[in-house]
Structure 1
Amino acid sequence: ILIGYDDSVETICDGGFSLDVRYAPTRLRELSKMDGAVVLSSAGSHILRANVQLVPDPSIPTEESGTRHRSAERTAIQTGYPVIS
């Protein structure tokens, strides 16, 4: 779950689909069942994208071991937005 959206986020998003629906816990729960990331607005009030593959700069160092967690840490560093993995 990526909390924040701007051009820096758009450039690392691959695939998935765009939404613009108000945040609701049930919506987030259902969308989180998919393999990809869910992107929320900076305020967390809207779900903007779902089932997205995040492709941050691979040269950003990370101490994480799993693919999902490495991508999450790199995404947070590259965009400056919090990522929950």
Structure 2
Amino acid sequence: MDVSAYQQLVTGYYLFESMPDNVIDNWYRYICTDGENCKEVEADYLPIDNEMVFFCSITGGRTKVELFKNGGEIKKQV
């Protein structure tokens, strides 16, 4: 699975499963996925090889889901 497929999965989780119905601004979360499951994590979470962590936010009504950490890349850096 490529980054964009992971990103789409996380976006769906962030917008439809983790967010309360009344949020329109200032909602920030770090979401980790293995391509099948998603979970909220802290910024210091270290993903394993098949995981990616995305920073998700809503600011001024705009939604952003950006790759924050890639488990495979972290292992290469160590």
What TM-score comes out, normalization by structure 1 length?
A: 0.26
What TM-score comes out, normalization by structure 2 length?
A: 0.27
Higher strand share: 2
